């Protein structure tokens, strides 16, 4: 008993128990909450030791506080580390990804999560907080409070241990994955081989590094990018056969929330999931090999790609991290051509920082939740349901000066895919046992009906004939966390090949009065800007864009993903697993076949990031003057 009191008085027992608690729940999360794909015993060992060095490092910081404040400091640090762990667990459940510092800048988004947030919280999550309660109770109720008195030599030994374990961890990690710290897009491997806390240290360093790039950027870097997009790729000025075919017409863009291409022409319980979109593809240009390029920015990334023909960032979202940049976006270009560019969305104007970013992109007006009549009955999750959204949007659209460029962002088909009114459920759910997947088809069917009603209203209001419609899926809806259920839906195993192919989203370009056709072209969201401008007969000026008109015969069949994956008409390269496939057979082939694609993706993504991080378009006018003198 005396030995116990002695340990307690010195704080050894308290400190040790706290370390064990935090290590145990961190290891539990790494094993059960995240899909880390442990491949061998070495990786299993790494997974077990990764939390130790960072736990000792951060908890050890409490010893630098005065004895009077040490316990409070310790519990604050302990609670913060618990919060970081828990936040990643919840975030991973939907996004199949880990939080980055730029994502935390989107904190306003989380205030509007509503039902999505509730669906991501599980009853067992209490396990992540029980130890915090126990330790707080310990410090409060013990008559002899743990004072955590340690000698300086002991603290020095503690941090020597931190360095030792950290060095072993990093050495083993580099053996398992050479160049680990340079492959920043692969957060899964960073967490698997460095641990969740060490990953956040690394992420913080990367954030600090990127934040300095704008300060040191110069016009020479823009020249390098322009040489690539103009010279090496010949992308600027590559026009398709339909150049100018929609000149002077209004443009209506419909962002189809979480819509993946596999639902098109698919039936569930004998019923079509998207009957209207299926019919529309027969009378439109339907691109069946079209992919999204989004990263952590999700819908906002798809918007950035659409308007700028540049890629989103590998970490965070341009909308929140670089909204003050100079852009040469489609709305700004069309405004110079006499168009009225607007965006319509039934959510708060601050969500994804749209109220700021839209001004930077050149939109004249943003019709957000404040302009709509949103009630408890006509809203769900993030905001206004799709049918009332389109209904209330029609007067706004009719009031615009023509021609207009109007972007509609739908919302109902958003995780957790809930319809609170039985009358809205026009198809029975699937029966995989995975609630998110099963309900997905119901909200998808509702979204399809909403788009149908919108087209009807456009015809009734006399807006249809002089408008071209561009409908595109913004990003995936079903993440890798639901592969078991998706295997059941698709009737096949979800390998890396299938995972990449599931990133297809529909692209439907409908031009009234023009006969459409099914297009086999391989393309992606980065190609939308030049495609739309060319249909309107507008030539790009000296500009940075990584996409090519989807109707151009000379274009390369290519889609580059934000994670480095690549799809062409012949090959599929899955970057996360570093596997090359023959697209026609789905069979693995030699890595060297995809090596040029891998390098091309790396180069293009790096150059796009350079433009955004360095705000290089601010040098565009200066570069034009230099080119003119030449």
Domain boundary among 183, 211, 239: 211
The per-residue pLDDT for range 118-155, each reduced to its tens digit, is: 667 788 889 899 999 999 988 887 644 545 566 778 78
Query: Residue 296: its pLDDT value, please?
Result: 86
Q: Annotated catalytic residue: which of 82, 299, 410, 467?
A: 299
* Whole-number percent of the chain with pLDDT over 90: 61
406/281 same-domain check: yes
Q: Report whether pLDDT(105) > 50.
A: yes
252/198 same-domain check: no
278/356 same-domain check: yes
Beta partners for residue 190, in sequence order: none
Q: How far apart are CA 521 and CA 288, in angstroms?
A: 8
- In this prediction, residues 153-178 reach a mean pLDDT of 86
CATH of the domain at 260: 3.40.720.10
Lowest mean pLDDT among 51-60, 380-389, 569-578, 599-608: 380-389
386/508 same-domain check: yes
- pTM attached to this predicted model: 0.79
Is residue 221 assigned to a domain? Answer: no
* CB-based contact 132:79 (threshold 8 Å): yes
Is residue 219 assigned to a domain? Answer: no
165/257 same-domain check: no
Q: How far apart are CA 617 and CA 604, in angstroms?
A: 16
162/255 same-domain check: no
Q: Report whether pLDDT(630) > 50.
A: no
* CB-based contact 573:566 (threshold 8 Å): yes
Is residue 347 assigned to a domain? Answer: yes
* 3-class DSSP state of 244: coil
The per-residue pLDDT for range 272-293, each reduced to its tens digit, is: 999 999 999 999 999 999 999 9
Q: What does pLDDT average to over the chain? A: 88
34/107 same-domain check: yes
Is residue 283 assigned to a domain? Answer: yes
Known active-site residue 521: no
Tokens matching residue 465: 């004939």
Query: Residue 628: its pLDDT value, please?
Result: 45
159/249 same-domain check: no
Query: Residue 404: its pLDDT value, please?
Result: 98
Query: Residue 239: its pLDDT value, please?
Result: 78
418/463 same-domain check: yes
* CB-based contact 204:197 (threshold 8 Å): no
Domain boundary among 211, 242, 259: 211
Looking at the structure of the chain, the number of domains it has is 2
Is residue 218 assigned to a domain? Answer: no
Query: Residue 557: its pLDDT value, please?
Result: 95
Q: How far apart are CA 169 and CA 505, in angstroms?
A: 40
Range of the domain at 135: 2-211
Is residue 223 assigned to a domain? Answer: no
Q: How far apart are CA 450 and CA 445, in angstroms?
A: 9
Is residue 543 assigned to a domain? Answer: yes
Domain boundary among 145, 179, 211: 211
335/447 same-domain check: yes
23/71 same-domain check: yes
Is residue 216 assigned to a domain? Answer: no
Query: Residue 144: its pLDDT value, please?
Result: 44
Q: How far apart are CA 255 and CA 301, in angstroms?
A: 12
Q: Report whether pLDDT(370) > 80.
A: yes
196/257 same-domain check: no
């Amino acid at each position: 008993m005396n030995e116990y009191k002695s340990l307690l008085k010195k704080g050894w027992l308290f400190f040790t128990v706290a370390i064990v608690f935090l290590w145990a729940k961190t290891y539990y999360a790494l094993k059960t909450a995240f899909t880390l794909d442990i491949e061998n015993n070495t990786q299993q060992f790494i997974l077990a030791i990764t939390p130790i060095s960072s736990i000792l490092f951060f908890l050890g910081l409490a010893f630098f506080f005065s004895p009077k404040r040490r316990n409070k400091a310790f519990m604050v640090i302990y609670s913060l580390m618990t919060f970081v762990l828990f936040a990643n667990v919840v975030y991973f459940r939907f996004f199949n990804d880990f939080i980055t510092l730029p994502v935390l800048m989107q904190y306003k988004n989380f205030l509007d999560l509503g039902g999505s947030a509730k669906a991501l919280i599980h009853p067992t999550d209490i396990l992540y907080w029980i130890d915090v309660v126990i330790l707080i109770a310990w410090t409060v109720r013990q008559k002899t409070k743990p004072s955590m008195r340690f000698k300086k030599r002991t603290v020095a030994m503690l941090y020597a241990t931190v360095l030792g374990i950290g060095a072993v961890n990093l050495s083993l990690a580099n053996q398992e994955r050479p160049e680990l710290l340079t492959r920043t897009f692969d957060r899964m491997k960073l967490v698997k081989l460095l641990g969740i806390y060490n990953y956040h240290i690394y992420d913080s360093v990367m954030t600090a590094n990127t934040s300095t790039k704008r300060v040191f950027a110069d016009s020479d870097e823009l020249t390098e990018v322009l040489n690539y997009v103009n010279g090496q790729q010949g992308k600027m000025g590559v026009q398709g056969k339909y150049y100018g075919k929609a000149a002077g017409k209004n443009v209506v863009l419909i962002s189809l929330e979480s819509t993946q291409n596999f639902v098109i022409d698919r039936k569930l319980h004998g019923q079509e999931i998207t009957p209207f979109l299926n019919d529309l593809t027969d009378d439109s240009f339907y691109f069946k090999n079209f992919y999204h390029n989004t990263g952590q920015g999700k819908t906002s990334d798809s918007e950035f790609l659409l308007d700028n023909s540049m890629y989103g960032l590998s970490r965070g979202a341009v909308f929140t991290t670089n909204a003050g940049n100079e852009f040469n976006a489609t709305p700004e270009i069309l405004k110079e051509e006499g168009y009225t560019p607007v965006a319509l969305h039934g959510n708060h104007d601050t969500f994804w920082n749209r109220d700021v970013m839209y001004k930077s992109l050149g939109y004249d007006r943003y019709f957000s939740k404040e302009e709509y009549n949103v009630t408890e009955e006509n809203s769900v999750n993030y905001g206004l349901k799709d049918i009332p959204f389109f209904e209330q949007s029609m007067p706004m659209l009719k009031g615009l000066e023509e021609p207009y460029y109007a972007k509609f962002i739908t919302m109902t088909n958003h995780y957790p895919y809930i319809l609170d009114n039985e009358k809205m459920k026009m198809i029975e759910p699937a029966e995989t046992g995975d609630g998110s997947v099963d309900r997905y088809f119901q909200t998808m069917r509702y979204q399809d009906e909403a788009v149908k009603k919108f087209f009807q209203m456009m015809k009734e209001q006399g807006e249809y004939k002089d408008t071209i419609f561009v409908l595109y899926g913004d990003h995936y809806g079903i993440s890798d966390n639901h592969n078991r259920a998706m295997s059941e839906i698709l009737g096949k195993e979800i390998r890396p090949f299938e995972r990449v192919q599931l990133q297809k989203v529909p692209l439907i370009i409908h031009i009234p009065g023009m006969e459409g056709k099914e297009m086999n072209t391989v393309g992606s969201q980065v190609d939308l800007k030049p495609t739309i401008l060319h249909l309107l007969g507008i030539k790009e000026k000296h500009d940075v864009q990584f996409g090519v008109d989807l109707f151009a015969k000379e274009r390369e069949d290519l889609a580059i993903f934000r994670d480095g994956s690549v799809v062409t008409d012949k090959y599929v390269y899955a970057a996360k697993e570093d596997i090359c496939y023959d697209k026609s057979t789905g069979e693995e082939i030699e890595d060297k076949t995809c090596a040029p694609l891998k390098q091309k993706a790396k180069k293009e993504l790096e150059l796009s990031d350079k433009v955004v991080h360095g705000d290089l378009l601010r040098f565009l006018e200066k570069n034009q003057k230099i080119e003119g003198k030449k």
